[in-house]
Amino acid sequence: MKAFLILEDGTVFTGTSIGSKKEIISEIVFNTSMTGYLEVLTDPSYAGQAVCMTYPLIGNYGICHEDQESLRPWPDGYIVRELSRMPSNFRSEDTIQNFLKQYDIPGIAGIDTRALTKLLREKGTMNGMITTDAAYKLEEIIPRLKAYNTGKVVERVTCEEKTVLKGEGPKVALMDFGAKDNIAKSLNERGCEVTVYPAFTKAEEILKTNPDGIMLSNGPGDPKECTSIIEEIKKLYDSEVPIFAICLGHQLMALATGADTKKMKYGHRGGNHPVKDLETGRVYISSQNHGYVVDTETLNPEIAVPAFINVNDKTNEGLKYTGKNIFTVQFHPEACPGPQDSGYLFDRFLKMMEVTK
């Protein structure tokens, strides 16, 4: 069956329908990872977005549920050049086609994903529609596309109740704003007892358990939509508990302490983004997924200073908080399937907790 991807600038791509046949409107973004499509699909940070994979062949090693970063896929839609319908992998348990159908996610295959990516890079991220309705009317669709926004998507992706991963080491409170499972796993593998809290948990509830450290997770959407969460993070900042924050958590901590964030032209999404540690000068290849960035022009150096920058575009990739046991990064040190270059940051967090005990 034919499917159509319609962008808010009036561009139309024609391809083949994959997954669900339902019609969706979403923010269209692209991911440059060459592997790890299942981890991309199950990353809660993609809630409210439809993902275009730039690598041309997707699905060739099938679906292995053990590799999922959450219990279900989150993108509104999925866009690929070529979908492998016959995966070859001894671990494969299903196909992407069935996986998308199971969770009612529509997609489109057979379009020129390179042309789409170039368009998004030139014009910036746009909203779009995936539909199988060949009788679509552009004059009716485009106003709907321009009016769309992702809204408060953290509410959709956070856990419903507190859970605990037992461990014999430091006790870490993990705030789930849309956390990838590998964050808790990376801490737990290092011996930490990890308590995962829903996003809207009050700071007082967390602090009364006397955690050795607090982790602020990744998540979807515009950080400025999370007004009540930002208020609670300010209380966590005012405590003396060591804090490590990733991606959305990094942005929320910046907002809680008086800095500002801004939307990027097309964001960073993929497993091949170089970041530079400003203290050591060393460059790491990182996994990233974000469309917003901390505006370093709004930083108060008495509160926080840049710790990492993106080698490609010089945008901020991390902050160190002055006089506090707090550091935050925009990229994903828990990267799964990789790269694993920055996994050492979890070890830095553990040492920080040991020092403050």
The answer to whether 252 touches 233, Cβ cutoff 8 Å, is: yes
Query: Look-up: residue for tokens 């109740």?
Result: 161
CA distance 69 to 255: 27
Give 10-residue mean pLDDT values along the chain (357 residues). Answer: 97 98 98 95 97 97 96 97 94 96 98 98 97 96 95 95 96 98 96 98 98 98 97 97 98 98 97 95 96 98 98 98 97 86 93 84
pLDDT in the model for residue 83: 95
pLDDT in the model for residue 312: 96
CA distance 48 to 221: 7
CA distance 34 to 352: 34
Q: Please give the positions annotated as active site.
A: 247, 332, 334
For domain 154-356, the CATH superfamily is Class I glutamine amidotransferase (GATase) domain (3.40.50.880)
Domain ranges of the chain: 2-147, 154-356
List, in sequence order, every residue forming a beta bridge with 79; answer none if it has no partner.
Answer: 52, 108
pLDDT in the model for residue 84: 94
Q: Hey, what amino acid is at 170?
A: P
Measured CA angle at 108 (ends 77, 129), to 5 deg: 55
pTM of the shown model: 0.96
Q: Is the alpha carbon torsion for 306, 307, 310, 316 positive or negative?
A: negative
- What residues are designated binding site? 45, 219, 221, 248, 251, 289, 291-292
Residue 29: count other Cβ atoms within 10 Å of its Cβ.
Answer: 22
Closest CA to 52 of 104, 122, 107: 107
Beta strand 163-165 pairing with 193-198: antiparallel
Q: Half-sphere exposure of 157 toward its Cβ, with a 13 Å CA cutoff? A: 32
The answer to whether 277 touches 331, Cβ cutoff 8 Å, is: no
CATH fold, domain 2-147, is Glucose Oxidase; domain 1 (3.50.30)
Distances (CA, A) of 173 to 153, 163, 176, 212, 351: 22, 10, 9, 8, 16
pLDDT in the model for residue 151: 87
CA distance 163 to 177: 14
Closest CA to 278 of 239, 248, 240, 320: 320
- Helices 344-356/181-188 angle, 10° precision: 60
- What residues are designated binding site for L-glutamine? 45, 219, 221, 248, 251, 289, 291-292
